[in-house]
Structure 1
Amino acid sequence: MESKTEATRTIKGTKHLLYQLLRWHRGAWMRINLLVTASVVLLALTVVSVEKVRAEEPFVTVDRFVPHMSSVSANQGERVGIFVREKVNHTLSTKFAGGGHADEGKVVLFVHGGSVPSVPDYDLPFKDYSWMSYLARAGYDTFAMDHSGYGLSPRPMMDDPCNMDTENRALVTPVPLSTDCRPKYSQGLTTSQSDWDEILTVVEFIRALRGVETVSLIGWSAGGPRTAGFAARYPEKIDKLVLFAPGYRRDQPSIPPGHPRGDVPMRLQTKSALEEGRWRSTVACENQIDPGIQTAIWQSIMSFDQRGAVWGPDHGVMRVRTSAGSWGWNREYAAKVTAPTLIMVGEQDFLLESDKQLYEDLTASESKVLVTMECATHFAVWESTQYRFMHEASLEWLESTTLRGETGGRFSVGPIGSDIVRR
């Protein structure tokens, strides 16, 4: 068996090869062929760990690309494929294979936040952190989607490293950029409307596939405006909402801006920026982050960003789409949400105060709960202190529209889901 040093040397050598294979200024036909080659190499590096996880889990996982007519301005009107993962237990899989339908109220779609795609968020192959696995084990048909600009969904204008600001271009010099350049696409990539359009396509696909009228939505961070904003516009298609640290601006405009916002279609996030700058810097309790989970998270992120994996520093970079305009998730539209809504947010989360406002503004929802979690940051779904509580709370909400038997109100919960108290 090779040593850790030898394994590291092998990975670095492979990455150097991929740098050469994916030189962005090659011909388009060659980039396509070499990207396939790069994909095979990257998959070869991860196949052992992935197969080991799958062998131990009693689930069936299906990855699909759902056809969609893009409303993203960079590829407006093109037929694209939106990446969707489905995870079910073997009992349900057998039922579906025999032509059976899902039970009403037993289908869930997960939607990611502003930077990390859905599989690292919700189906992380680390211990029992997978939220999808937890609900699938309980008999739910679970789905997770990647929006345009994320994961394996289309990333128009994001393969060109010139299409970033000066600071981000410096991160990928000299690999793949040998010299500086100017952006060729000078606006943000996606909008609130393009996100809702993609959710509509996926929800309609799921409803037809599983023979159900409604789907429940789970969203984290920027996934809050995406899922809840969608629920406000299509209440007849939604069963329940579970929102984890959802973004919310009470005074956000209700209509789109007159022209596209932003100067570039993407930005970068490094491993250290995610782990240290955004996450560890906000941690308040001991043993809040499980040893080894950050490595698992970054590996999962890189497996869904094969080009970012070979850009910049040794760990690669995460490419993140920019916004060309956000609107329509404010006091007016929060009041249009009728679905029972559970909001979970950490005490150390910068969105805590705005989520309190969101709870107040959900005036049309007869069942709504806001729970504040102690020893929890914006990344609580990956934190040892509260991830199990979040899984359990979401299941109870989906099953009975209650949190510890309560149908509404504000609560706080201690570490590991202990000592829940009404506020």
Structure 2
Amino acid sequence: MPRLTLALILPLMLSGPAPSRAQETLQRQELYTENIAGMRLHLRQVRGAAGEGRAILLLHGARVAGVGSFDLPVAGGSFAADLAQRGFDVYLLDVRGYGDSARPVQLEQAPSAHAPLVRSNEAVQDIGAAVEFIRQRRKGQRVALFGWATGGQWAGHYASLHPDRLSALIVLNSLYRGSTPHALIGKGSRMEHPAQPGRFNPGACGAYRLNEAASLARPWDDAIPEADKSVRRDPQVAQAYAQAALASDPGSGARAPASFRSPCGAFEDSFYLATGRQQWDASLITAPTLIVAGERDFWSRPEDVQNLAADLVHAGKVQVLRIPDASHFIHLERPQFGRAQLLDAIDAFVR
């Protein structure tokens, strides 16, 4: 078991626009524990002032860390705050190599010098340390686990290994298993090795990748069908998302243009999932599971959703929610484009 310690609790200090009046009643703390390798892990807790609610751990995706993904300091930008307002005790985890968690030493070296960093087995170790840390604070209670995109893949993997520690599993816009062509990351994409079909191309990413703010905007812009992107996406949320992503890497400002590092292990894992390889078995999951996918999502495929639901033979309760007209970034867009429906579904499912 990982050694669990509470290294530091700090009051939240946010830059940028002031939070809304509703969010002012929330409490935020910066918490730290260690994974099994002795690396420091960062969690942010967001909770209401009334006391303990339903515990839920939110897992980020392949590039942007926990705070940037779920707790932006602008109106409509904090999925964590919205959950806390509904009575959840919310935790955000930075997996190793992301945000304020410890970074592998290879992240300080050239991307070409090493294989892709932070594969799913290491991410699952970090999730395990975070879950046990939360359970220790809450007298052994079970924890709900929510994962977005790659975070959902990690969450499902963890749930297959430790189902007894979870009250619920929620997977949003995630891969699982399927042979349907995946243009972004599957066979024939730049992620496939040009000389070895079916194998991941390490040259496409390296140990880690450098991400500029524009690289975050492009896929989000492409996911919005309207010419005026502000119809679905508040410009302040988009700006705060990019700022938080850059701020998550202390060295981002030293590069021109500014960029943040993200480990590439998530992309190798996703490549194999997208090409039909199964990394974990959902039949081992016993926690009630909610599978959510946006109709316009570019990451998960209908086949991933169908196969995951079919394999959840021991989950007790399985619910599949396909949100019409919703994109990959449901939780960061305006309420009427799926965000409100997603919050309602989680609130009703996690009891």
Please give the alpha-carbon distance, in whole angstroms, between the structure 2 residues aligned to 1:107 and 1:389: 20
> How far did 1:281 drift?
1.2
* Alignment counterpart, residue 382 of structure 1, candidates 332, 346, 350: 332
User: Which residue does 2:110 correspond to in 1?
Assistant: 163
Higher relative contact order (CA 8 A, sep 6+): 2
Alignment of 1:16-415 (within 5 A): 49=16, 52-53=18-19, 57-70=24-37, 79-92=38-51, 102=52, 106-157=54-105, 159-160=107-108, 163-164=110-111, 183=112, 185-250=113-178, 262=202, 264-276=206-218, 278-285=219-226, 287-313=231-257, 316-323=258-265, 326=269, 330=278, 333-350=281-298, 351-353=300-302, 354-384=304-334, 385-399=337-351
> How far did 1:63 drift?
0.5
TM value normalised by structure 2: 0.79
SS of structure 2 residue aligned to 1:190: coil
> How far did 1:158 drift?
5.4
> How far did 1:159 drift?
4.9
Please give the alpha-carbon distance, in whole angstroms, between the structure 2 residues aligned to 1:91 and 1:198: 29
> How far did 1:130 drift?
1.4
> How far did 1:143 drift?
0.5
User: Do the aligned partners of residues 81 and 331 (structure 1) sit closer, same or farther apart at CA in structure 2, a change above 3 Å counting?
Assistant: closer
Determine what percentage of the aligned residue pairs are the same residue.
24
Please give the alpha-carbon distance, in whole angstroms, between the structure 2 residues aligned to 1:149 and 1:158: 10
Query: In the alignment, is the contact (CA less than 8 A) between 1:152 and 1:304 conserved in 2?
Result: yes
> How far did 1:332 drift?
6.2
Aligned length: 304
SS of structure 2 residue aligned to 1:376: coil
> How far did 1:309 drift?
3.5
State the Cα deviation string for residues 193-218 of structure 1 (Å, max 9, x = none).
Answer: 11111111111111111113311100
User: Do the aligned partners of residues 310 and 247 (structure 1) sit closer, same or farther apart at CA in structure 2, a change above 3 Å counting?
Assistant: farther
Structure 1 gap ranges (5+)? 1-45, 71-78, 93-101, 165-182, 252-259, 400-423
State the Cα deviation string for residues 338-378 of structure 1 (Å, max 9, x = none).
Answer: 21111111111121322232222222222111111222211
User: Which residue does 2:193 correspond to in 1?
Assistant: none
> How far did 1:48 drift?
5.2
User: Which residue does 2:182 correspond to in 1?
Assistant: none
> How far did 1:128 drift?
3.0
TM value normalised by structure 1: 0.66
